[in-house]
Amino acid sequence: MTISLDHHATTPTAQEVVDAMARYWRDVPFNAHSAHAGGALSESAVETARATIADLVGASAHEITFTSGATEANNLAILGLARAAQSALPERTRILTSAIEHKCVLEAARHLATQGFEHEMIPVLTTGRVDVEQLAAMLDDRVLLVAVMAANNEIGTIQPLPEIAHLCEAAGAMFHVDAAQVVGRIPFDVFEIGCDTASFSAHKMYGPKGVGALYVSAAAKLRPKPILFGGGQESGLRPGTLPVPLIVGFGKAAELAMQAHSNGPRLRELADRFLLELGRLGIDAHVNGSLTDRLPGSLNIHIPGVDAEQLIQRLGDSLHLSTGSACQSGELQGSYVLRAIGLPRKLVSASFRLCFGTEHDMSDAVKAAHCLADSVRTCESATGCFVQWQELVDGDVLIGRV
């Protein structure tokens, strides 16, 4: 039986979510913007889901815009605010993002750097938390937007969002939060945090793939301009026919998430037991990032001397782990997140990401540790399972095996 611990990449769709969506695939297959009675049924389902999602994050329903996922929501926030600022705040041309943001945030900001904006990276500490002192020094009256994710999708580090929001407000800068990894796992309230925009993804919280949302505060001094054009759906911000079944599923996942926040202590226990069991089995595993300020159930570890990519392949379908974000699979340089927190290249190559979910129990943590330990021992006795690395030292390339 497979134990999948790749929940940062995606979560299994909850059965309650599947059941909630079923009716809207065939029995109520109507366009939510159609004027007939069938359209009204679909529209009602969409608005019920919108209200539920808003309640989950402390927003008002009219502040929630449906998208195809967090990637689109992040692009809409960053590119849309930049479009709005070109006429409303032309003097604000600087975009600040943390060095460990999701690729979609970094790439959107890099695109703006070709459009007359400046993209600058906020450094992070070895724990993965944003260097708040450095951020404070970087802020001035030319900063349009600061983007910092609520929790990292590789190392699980939780950011000090209210503190960052306070700095942004003082500087007159907008504050965007990629909240895809936290919603449904820990409480997240847009009002308490003080962000202007935030993105969410259904499939990170036991909902369906293909749907997400963008929160835009009614109090924000700027509202993003659309980056897609069509029929004016979603208050003119995001056009296109709404995927009613997916939105219904998103709403059901949000409803379940309200009941799941109490799972935090249990998920932490699972991660701790996994580490403890690895130690008992003689595996020298070390946690990357923060030991305390991380998502419950989330771990990023390195095992010196092991090639993580090859080990994951040896695990096959018995245990699902990953070496980093699914969006950067195959990158030759390894995880930019781990490099940003100062991990040497040879340890980046020896690192794994894993995350327990609500469906896991203590026996899964123990079995997963034993499965990983067995594969590590197999690698230790085989050739080609060690980290191959090269570094430039004093102008010479050194190649080694650790």
More confident residue, 247 or 400: 247
One domain, residues 139 and 181 = yes
Distance in angstroms (rounded) separating the CA atoms of residues 123 and 341: 9
Spacing of C-alpha 271 from chain mean position: 19
Are 159 and 151 in contact by the 8 Å Cβ rule? The answer is: yes
pLDDT digits (tens, 9 = 90+) for 300-329: 999 999 999 999 999 999 999 999 755 554
Report residue 262's pLDDT band, with 50, 70 and 90 as the boundaries: confident
Instruction: State whether 205 and 279 are in the same domain.
Output: no
Q: What is the pLDDT of residue 328?
A: 52
Residue 237 sits in the same domain as residue 339 = no
pLDDT tens digits for range 374-393: 999 987 665 445 444 444 33
pLDDT digits (tens, 9 = 90+) for 19-60: 999 999 999 999 999 999 999 999 999 999 999 999 999 999
Select from 243, 259, 275 the last residue of a domain.
Answer: 259
End-to-end CA distance of the chain: 32
pLDDT of residue 325: 59
Domain co-membership, 83 together with 165: yes
Candidates 327, 371, 379, 385; catalytic one: 327
Rounded mean pLDDT of the chain? 93
Between 394 and 88, where is the model more confident?
A: 88
268 lies in the same domain as 255: no
Structure letter (DSSP) for residue 243? -
Per-residue pLDDT tens over the stretch 273-292: 999 999 999 999 999 999 99
Percentage helix, strand, coil for the chain under 3-state DSSP, each rounded to 5? 40, 20, 40
Is 281 found in the same domain as 154?
no
Contact of 357 with 365, CB cutoff 8 Å: no
Predicted local distance difference test score (pLDDT) of residue 40: 97
Q: pLDDT tens digit string along 116-166?
A: 999 999 999 999 999 999 999 999 999 999 999 999 999 999 999 999 999
Show which of 259, 281, 306 is a domain's final residue: 259
In a shared domain, residues 68 and 146: yes
pLDDT band at 261 (very low <50, low <70, confident <90, very high): confident
Q: pLDDT tens-digit profile of 213-240? A: 999 999 999 999 999 999 999 999 999 9
* 231 and 312, same domain (yes or no): no
Domain count, the chain: 2
On whether the CB atoms of residues 99 and 124 are closer than 8 A, the answer is yes
pLDDT at residue 192 greater than cutoff 50:
yes
Taking residues 167-193, what's their average pLDDT? Answer: 97
Check residue 245 and give its pLDDT: 98
Quick one: pLDDT at residue 37?
A: 97
Q: Which residue, among 231, 237, 161, 234, has the nearest Cα to 196 in the 3D structure?
A: 161
Return the ∠ at Cα 320 (arms to 317 and 326), rounded to 5°.
120
- pLDDT higher than threshold 90 for residue 69: yes
Q: Of 220, 240, 259, which closes a domain?
A: 259
Residues 136 and 251 in one domain: yes
Do 238 and 285 lie in a common domain? no
Q: Which domain holds residue 377?
A: 3-9+262-401
CATH of the domain at 142: 3.40.640.10
Q: Is 371 annotated as catalytic? A: no
The answer on 201 and 303 residing in a single domain is no
Phi, psi of 13 (to 5 degrees): -70, 125
Residues 231 and 339 occupy one common structural domain = no
CATH code of the domain containing 275: 3.90.1150.10
Q: What is the largest CA-CA distance in the chain?
A: 74
In the three-class reduction of DSSP (H, G, I as helix; E, B as strand; rest coil), residue 77 is classed as helix
Q: Given pLDDT bands bounded at 50, 70 and 90, which one contains residue 74?
A: very high
Q: Check residue 135 and give its pLDDT.
A: 98
